[in-house]
Structure 1
Amino acid sequence: MLAALLEKIRSRDSIVGIVGLGYVGLPLLLRFSEVGFRVIGFDIDKLKVDALNAGHSYIEHIPADRIAQVRTRGFEATTDFSRAGEADVLILCVPTPLNKYREPDLSFVIQTTDTLVPYLRKGQLLSLESTTYPGTTDEELAPRVQSCGLTIGQDVFLVYSPEREDPGNATFSTQTIPKICGGVTKHCLDVGMALYGQVIDRVVPVSSTRAAELTKLLENIHRAVNIGLVNEMKIVADKMGIDIHEVIRAAATKPFGFVPYYPGPGLGGHCIPIDPFYLTWKAREYGVNTRFIELAGEVNAAMPDYVITKVVTALNKVRKSLNGASVLVLGIAYKKNVDDMRESPAVVLMEKLQDLGAKVAYSDPHVAVFPRLRHHTYFDLSSVSLTPDTIASFDCIVLATDHDRFDYAMIRDHASIIVDTRGKYLDAADNIVKS
């Protein structure tokens, strides 16, 4: 089985099944198809499947012409998971969110695996890319694969290779971002390395799936902790009357020993706000309290409240109450220049502002209509078109996500109050409050 599968992968005759066609799965399937693999995309969302089969894209930074091109190469999407048996390779790119108690929610991974198990056969590779805690592949996937009588490392091969997608990043792509891979056995690792080596410039092997799982967590916890540090520094600097963004720019001129991180209204995205909780939850099984990680999480989680305080203070200075005030939130994607709304702190800001009685609206050139989000309030709103009159009509503007397509000079010239959470406005102005 090993030799035959390796030969099919190296000759690119193997069929690759991508399970989960979101921000991770879609770029990956494009890459496999573009280098010559036949690809089948699996998703439970019929709207996504229909869009892809029609040659359309539902992710802003992925153009429709790339979808249309891979369709001509034989790519197809389906909601029929019974077709998993056609694939020689199955790559799971499904969500691993937190539940309402801020605990790991592996339901998507487990349910997807359970759905695939009846169709697994000898000579297949199963790869999990979803971010998760160390032990998930060994403890959750391996027993399910073995339950159908297949021997891992002999009949089928199981690896963990964490996704490292960065939506909208023009510098690094699926091809150029190095790939971590860990296998349940050596033969599993050999197959995983062979597969990803066909589409990724550099594949980095590690000794186990647990090491690969912890690698992904470390990458994002590193960012979460450092962002927590700089968010705390922002509060200290503000009390001292110092612009933290000026300080960061100055510190970044040091050519060694310093990496700049930037404060904001909170953490967003599919990884950084979530991944630390996967490790802190699992660490408790070993009697370890991850105090440093949890402290950074507390600081970051408190940032929306800090911004709200700034809004209240700014309105008070002009003798207005937040209750009844009209507030326009600029940018509701979790980072600039993308349409990705996952875990966006701007949504938390909108919820808190509304709960305090504000009349909330938003403007985002990348999000035309407010979507329905897991564990968040639904706002029946569309993006407000920015004009001088529109901007002047709001009591307060909160800059939450600093998209390049905003006309910042025009906004500054016509806004009554701007609460800038991103340090976009470098010069002091009477109507700008730095947060």
Structure 2
Amino acid sequence: MRRIWLLMLGAFTLGLDAYVMAGLLPAVADDLATTVSLAGQMVTVFTLAYALSAPLVAGLLSGVSPRLLLIASLGVFTLGNALTALSPSIAVLLGSRAVAGVGAGVYSALATAAASALAAKGQQGQALALVMGGMSAGTALGVPLGVLAAGHAGWRVTMWLVTGLGVIALAGLAVRLPRIPAEPQVPLRARFGALTDRRVAPVVGVSFLAAVASLGLYTYLAPVLASTGGVHENATTPYLWAWGIGGVLGSVVAGPLLDRTGKATALVTAVMAGLVLAEGSLPLLGAAAFPALVLWGASGWALQVPQQQRLLALGDGTGTGTVALALNNSALYLGSAAGSALGGLALAGGVPARTLPWAATGVAALGLVLHLLTGARSGRTARTAGSRAAGHGVE
């Protein structure tokens, strides 16, 4: 598991970098003499580069050494962050965020596949949980610390911190990461076929809807708490920590639970139900929303452990597993961007902030319904495939 911890460090850096920029927008805007809204486009650029690069590069470079691609993608990500720290203008800043987003998108998809490949038999869920735990810890623990560092020493110091973590993870992988067998070359038709695969598309769709509901609503947690519980915007830090701690716990617990039970579909059902319950109860609890926030964070981050396991199983032996993972990672970031954009439009249009959790609950419920309708079918497909394999003497 030591090598997987190195993959986890890279994932932690990704989680920190992806979300810390939102907290640095005012400082960046002041430093570069631009508006907060224009500076905020660096988050959009990073997100789009992440979402588009993951499936494209993972598909085009299937058959290439995963070890080489992991090191190269983390190197591109680290270079992008160094350029961000040195950016003299908003134009350079936006370009550097695109570079970082490309590296992050490719690394994220490859890291989950590599963690599963390196794990001992029966420990794949735990390995996936470590990588997802790194992402959630980077968001929950790293972001507040990064914002704190920026407040004392400037936003560029925070970006150098992210760059330094990337260099450490890069050096560790270059020295300690063993050779990982490359998946077979995936034909162009198969790569695009994953987009319409009746087994893959519903899984990715559930991830997208969950991201809209969870990560999208998280963007507006401060105004939601202010409208439902009278929590001042300067007093939201304990609530953010509650969400983040829940996220880390959910990521860590989901893996061993999945390894012990082997029931990925059932675990997704439970997690999605937890997300619906948490977000639905948020407006009712007001300032006492800590239990809902812990459950919300745990559900949102735990979901991807069984989701990734299901996608890897669907591509077993065909070389499409990494492509499916990349699509899923893209869905997460596109869902986050869509949720944030829709929430912003709603608030700009005069919709009260207290109604956003109800809207997010509806989206999460839609994801649960989609999973229930398609999960049973995919389970029957998997059992049929297993029966056929057994009939041909395959274990």
Q: Given the two structures, how large is their TM-score scaled by the length of structure 2?
A: 0.24
The structure carrying a bigger helix percent of its residues is: 2
Larger Rg: 1
